[in-house]
A and B are shown apart, each in its own frame.
Chain A
Amino acid sequence: MSTATSTLPMRGWLRKDGRKGIRNVVAVAYLVECAHHVSRLIVQKSGADDVHLIGFPGCYPNKYALEMMKRLCTHPNVGAVLLVSLGCESFNREELRRHVHASGRPVDLLVIQQSGGTSRTVNAGIDAVRKMRAKIIEQQPVPMALDELVIGTVCGGSDGTSGITANPAVGRCFDWLIEQRAACIFEETGELIGCERIMASRAITPELGREIEACVDKAANYYRIMGYGSFAPGNAEGGLTTLEEKSMGAYSKSGSSPISGLIKPGDVPPRGGLYLLDVVPDGEPRFGFPNISDNAEIVELIACGSHLILFTTGRGSVVGSAISPVIKVCANPDTYERMTDDMDVNAGRILQGAELDDVGREIYELVQKLAAGELSKSEALGHQEFILTYKQFEPIGPACLPAA
């Protein structure tokens, strides 16, 4: 296998838990939909690109949502957090506040019902964000190495070109990152239906292989009950016919490294290597589709510590994300022509004779450039999509993360 030799200087903000962030953002988090508008106004009126809006809309308690918010608010790319509560919702705001505080980050909590309503809370929020930004801007970044990076990959708007160009190019980049002991995460099990046996054979232990097969079975069962596979009309318009065909294309994002573990949303890879993220809830289907749109998967990859996301698209997705930058790898040369301003990499040129390795190398270098401070296209365009909904998970079993 060829290798990508170039390494570029990267830098990160060192956090108390030893991880480093490639961004230093202030997260403004609403803890129920009723606090969404107030939080959005605080972000808008703060007028800075490094103030990001995240949140959970539900009023009912949910262990997964609390855990996800803890992971997101203490993500290495986050430097400080402002929590915004309406006041009567069931979200455990004090536990979240304590958790963020214990991580060494500046944190503030505003309760709208106690702060005197919309305008007063917005003003207090703008003030709080200004103070937190002033504090974290003083922190100096330190050098960062590839083995400190966590990179997630997702595909969205796949078509008949995705599995031939962008996905295998990301796979090549993953192989090189893993050689440098970075942690790379691919998903989602509902879009890997049909690949379970091939995937299991790449697991570092037979027990992990069995867990992977069981987890794809779980996904197939879940989607069958929901009545739809993870297959959108645009997939068919772009030439894909079946779920397993889409899966085979998606699977090539994983590259050829051995699979070191099977994790669930919020589990941070313990060391470098390739990890599969299981995003399908455990137990009987309860809260609807496992991932209602691409950004739900991106948020889960970020909750697992992903510093940045490699997003492959054939039809042409434009999304970015709060917290972690998203790199767009465009699979389809026609889409690239139409939507150049949104695309970081033209992987579709592989169909026109370019080498897979060259595109893989371009992505590999772009990862490092972003970790040196360069902005991705979606980031520069201000895309900061975020979505978090109800789910339920059991913790992973011991076979899922074998010792290295």
Chain B
Amino acid sequence: MIDNGKLPPLLLLHPDDNILVARRDIAAGERVDLDGETFTIPKAVELGHKLARRDIAADARVLKYGAPIGSMKAAVARGEHVHMHNLRSDYIPSTTRDGH
């Protein structure tokens, strides 16, 4: 039953979502299915991280599990990494070890 190779590497958690989650580590240049189209991953992405499902404008809400998880600090293009550098909390800012 468990066959990692055949499973799509990107996971859509809810139909309303504008991000996808990496089901495993994905290498740069890997060709994946993105909403029915073949898409070449521009930059390696790690398991559990998020990619933009479509272009998302600055200040737009990001939806995961069909629920808002923050707003974009800057616009992001389809297939790009969505993370600390471009997404902010609408509640309390997140912190890292560097204090950013």
Is the CB–CB distance between A241 and B70 below 8 Å?
yes
In angstroms, Cα B88 to Cα A241, docked, is: 7
If A160-B48, A248-B65, A354-B2 touch, whether A229 touches B91 (CB-CB below 8 Å) is: yes
Is the CB–CB distance between A242 and B95 below 8 Å?
no
* Interface residue total, chain B, C-beta cutoff 8 A: 36
Say whether B23 faces chain A, with CB atoms less than 8 Å apart.
yes
Is the CB–CB distance between B96 and A233 below 8 Å?
yes
Say whether A41 faces chain B, with CB atoms less than 8 Å apart.
no
In angstroms, Cα B64 to Cα A333, docked, is: 21
Say whether A325 faces chain B, with CB atoms less than 8 Å apart.
no
Say whether A338 faces chain B, with CB atoms less than 8 Å apart.
no
Q: Among the listed A220, A231, A252, which residue makes an inter-chain contact with B95, where contact means beta carbons less than 8 Å apart?
A: A231
Is the CB–CB distance between A351 and B24 below 8 Å?
yes
Is the CB–CB distance between A236 and B24 below 8 Å?
no
Task: Closest B residue to A238 by CB, please name it.
Answer: B48
Q: Could you mark each residue 224-253 of chain A with 1 if its beta carbon is under 8 Å from any beta carbon of chain B, else 0?
A: 100011010101101111111100110010
Is the CB–CB distance between A242 and B48 below 8 Å?
no
Task: Closest B residue to A158 by CB, please name it.
Answer: B48
Which residues of chain B are within 8 angstroms of A252 by Cβ–Cβ distance?
Answer: 65
Is the CB–CB distance between B94 and A231 below 8 Å?
yes
Q: Could you mark each residue 1-30 of chain B with 1 if its beta carbon is under 8 Å from any beta carbon of chain A, else 0?
A: 111100100010100000001111000000
Which residues of chain B are within 8 angstroms of A229 by Cβ–Cβ distance?
Answer: 89, 91-95
Which residues of chain A are within 8 angstroms of B46 by Cβ–Cβ distance?
Answer: 239
Q: Among the listed A194, A236, A332, A334, which residue makes an inter-chain contact with B69, where contact means beta carbons less than 8 Å apart?
A: A194
If A160-B50, A314-B48 touch, whether A220 touches B67 (CB-CB below 8 Å) is: no
Of listed A160, A224, A249, residue having the most chain B CB within 10 A: A160
Which residues of chain A are within 8 angstroms of B90 by Cβ–Cβ distance?
Answer: 194, 242, 244
Interface of B: prevailing SS: loop
Which residues of chain A are within 8 angstroms of B64 by Cβ–Cβ distance?
Answer: 245, 248
Is the CB–CB distance between B96 and A244 below 8 Å?
no
Say whether B60 faces chain A, with CB atoms less than 8 Å apart.
no
Q: Among the listed A194, A236, A349, which residue makes an inter-chain contact with B91, where contact means beta carbons less than 8 Å apart?
A: A194
Say whether A193 faces chain B, with CB atoms less than 8 Å apart.
yes
In angstroms, Cα B3 to Cα A351, docked, is: 10
Say whether A164 faces chain B, with CB atoms less than 8 Å apart.
yes
Q: Among the listed B1, B82, B88, B89, which residue makes an inter-chain contact with A354, where contact means beta carbons less than 8 Å apart?
A: B1
Of listed B2, B47, B82, residue having the most chain A CB within 10 A: B47
**Chain A positions 233-286 with a Cβ under 8 Å from a chain B Cβ:** 233, 235-236, 238-245, 248-249, 252
**Chain B positions 29-83 with a Cβ under 8 Å from a chain A Cβ:** 46-50, 64-65, 67-70, 82-83
Shortest C-beta distance, A169 to chain B (Å), equals 15
Say whether A352 faces chain B, with CB atoms less than 8 Å apart.
yes
Is the CB–CB distance between B92 and A220 below 8 Å?
yes
Shortest C-beta distance, A195 to chain B (Å), equals 8
In angstroms, Cα B70 to Cα A228, docked, is: 16
Q: Among the listed B21, B48, B83, B95, which residue makes an inter-chain contact with A332, where contact means beta carbons less than 8 Å apart?
A: B48
Which residues of chain A are within 8 angstroms of B21 by Cβ–Cβ distance?
Answer: 160, 164, 239
Is the CB–CB distance between B94 and A243 below 8 Å?
yes
Is the CB–CB distance between A241 and B91 below 8 Å?
no
Shortest C-beta distance, B30 to chain A (Å), equals 17
Say whether A398 faces chain B, with CB atoms less than 8 Å apart.
no
Q: Could you mark each residue 363-394 of chain A with 1 if its beta carbon is under 8 Å from any beta carbon of chain B, else 0?
A: 00000000000000000000000000000000
Say whether A21 faces chain B, with CB atoms less than 8 Å apart.
no
Which residues of chain A are within 8 angstroms of B49 by Cβ–Cβ distance?
Answer: 160, 239
Is the CB–CB distance between B84 and A228 below 8 Å?
no
Task: Closest A residue to B86 by CB, please name it.
Answer: A241
Which residues of chain B are within 8 angstroms of A243 by Cβ–Cβ distance?
Answer: 89, 91-92, 94
Which residues of chain A are within 8 angstroms of B3 by Cβ–Cβ distance?
Answer: 352-353
Shortest C-beta distance, B94 to chain A (Å), equals 5
Say whether A102 faces chain B, with CB atoms less than 8 Å apart.
no
Say whether A321 faces chain B, with CB atoms less than 8 Å apart.
no
Task: Closest B residue to A162 by CB, please name it.
Answer: B48
Instruction: Sample 30 A-B pairs with CB under 8 A, ordered by A number.
Output: A160-B49, A160-B50, A164-B13, A195-B67, A198-B67, A220-B91, A223-B92, A224-B92, A228-B92, A229-B91, A229-B92, A229-B94, A231-B95, A233-B97, A236-B96, A239-B22, A241-B89, A243-B94, A244-B67, A244-B90, A314-B48, A332-B47, A349-B2, A351-B7, A351-B11, A352-B2, A352-B3, A352-B7, A353-B2, A353-B4
